[in-house]
Copies of this chain bind each other. A is one copy, B any other.
Amino acid sequence: MAIRPAEQLIHKAAWLYYAHGLRQDQVASQLNISRASVAMYLRKARETGIVNISTSTQLFTDDVLARQLEDALKLDAVWIAPENDYVLDPSTDIAVLAASVFLELVKKGDRIGVAWGRTVYTIADVMSYADLQDVTVVQLCGNLGAPYSYRPDQCTMEIARRLNAKGLNFYAPLVLTTEALADGLRAEPVIREQLADIGNCDLALYSVGTVDTDSHVVKCGALSPGEMGVLREAGAAGVIAGQIIDAAGKALDCSYNRRVISASLSSLRQIEKRLMVVQEDSKFEPLLAALAGGLCTHLVVGASMARRLLDHAEKAS
């Protein structure tokens, strides 16, 4: 297949249509092809990021509530997805907003850390395509051969694909059975280098996990419900990039955390822009923990969660 002429054609069609504002039939006659082909090329152009359509997320930051939250939580920016306003699936709404925000935060040449979870995968799924050749997307934590489709490497690769960026995966299990083995694996050059470089990321994207028995880490088999119960007794408050954090946002001192292959919380905190996205209202406590730990500079949440956070912050002060 002659890929180059095809690419050229797509590009030219997109150029004439979007930049010059010609109609599809005019483009077709310019390029001596049928209008149907032009329509198809244009779809491809949108799908490959040759054409970029983005909507400003202004509206969601302009919100009074968002401003108050920024001040109260000392965050760089907060976006709030309205909930009862128009009748759409609110969690999709949050993901769509998060995807837009994410694309707005990405700059050329950036290195981006991506964790995993249903939320991150949903965001990847609704994210529009872009053409950021010199961007690198790195995986923040080890893999899990989960029955679910949203594995860490898939999240990373999907986002890289959408961005036309380079995806950097590392293939280690998220959690090992012994601490010794985990230490050994972390010392492996391939793994070491990737983990060491995480602090150099410009942007991170993650959500936070719950610590109850239907938590994501439990469903994926990283922890048994029983183990999770024990950890909760020991002060577990949330999950970040596969690691258990306490209510203060510190890594919980426990065997599990020592057996995990993932970006350290301190390296995550080195990342300038940490975009946290929370879809479910049930993640209130975990989110508080993550906020306490300084694991988030940019936040995307739904309206009801935003109100709860603000209430909490006001009571605390």
Chain A positions within 8 Å of B, measured between CB atoms, are 8, 11-12, 14-16, 18-20, 30-31, 45, 49-56, 58-59, 85-88, 92-93, 96-97, 99-100, 107, 131, 133
Contacts and interface: CB of A to CB of B under 8 A. Distances in A.
B59 A12 contact: yes
Given A59-B11, A86-B30, A131-B58, A19 B51 contact: no
B87 A30 contact: yes
B87 A55 contact: no
Nearest to A59: B11
A12 B55 contact: no
B53 A18 contact: yes
Nearest to A27: B86
Contact of A53 (B15, B52, B88): B52
Given A50-B56, A55-B52, A59-B8, A19 B87 contact: no
Nearest to A107: B107
A131 B51 CA distance: 17
Contact of A86 (B16, B55, B88, B97): B16
Contacts of A45: 55
Contact of A56 (B31, B52, B100): B52
B55 A14 contact: yes
A30 B87 CA distance: 7
A31 B100 contact: no
A59 B16 CA distance: 13
Integer count of this chain's copies in the complex? 2
B18 A55 contact: yes
Contacts of A50: 55-56, 58
Residue of A56, A85, A100 with most partner-chain B CB within 10 A: A56
Contacts of A107: 107
B54 A88 contact: no
A157 to B, nearest CB: 22
B20 A59 contact: no
Given A30-B87, A87-B30, A15 B51 contact: no
Contacts of A97: 19
A87 B12 CA distance: 12
Contacts of A12: 59, 85-86
A92 B20 CA distance: 9
Contacts of A88: 16, 20, 30
A54 B131 CA distance: 11
Contact of A96 (B20, B51, B54): B20
17 contacts: A8-B59, A12-B85, A16-B88, A18-B54, A20-B92, A31-B86, A45-B55, A50-B56, A50-B58, A51-B56, A52-B54, A52-B55, A53-B53, A56-B131, A58-B131, A58-B133, A107-B107
A124 to B, nearest CB: 15
A276 B59 CA distance: 35
Contacts of A53: 18, 51-53
